[in-house]
Structure 1
Amino acid sequence: MLELNTLEAIMLAVEKGLGLTFVSRLAVKERLESKRLIQLNLTGYYPRQLHLAWHKKVP
């Protein structure tokens, strides 16, 4: 397992062939369009919880 701190680092690692990842399609939209990455269509159910957080002083 490889632990990286940023989405950019994760995408670069995948581009270099170091593995695969689950990320938002929106996050990799450009790389999918330019064919730098491909999308794998998986069968099965992969639930995930999303949480939204923001600074308390921003409405």
Structure 2
Amino acid sequence: MISFKLVEDEDLAMIEEWLNYEHVKKWYEIPELDVSIDDWQWNLGKEKSSLIGLLI
């Protein structure tokens, strides 16, 4: 079984760094929908959800 922990404040810097890697960024920037990495980072800081829930 795979389980995920809830995202904590101390995890946000690591996730922000990960989202900005070029090989990751290309999956989360969606120009057709006007979605950028900044939108994901804003949501990460705003919501206290599981990581998997935020990235699906």
Q: Shorter-chain TM-score: what band?
A: under 0.3
- TM norm structure 1: 0.24
- TM norm structure 2: 0.25
User: Which structure exhibits the higher relative contact order, with contacts defined as CA atoms closer than 8 Å and separated by 6 or more residues?
Assistant: 2
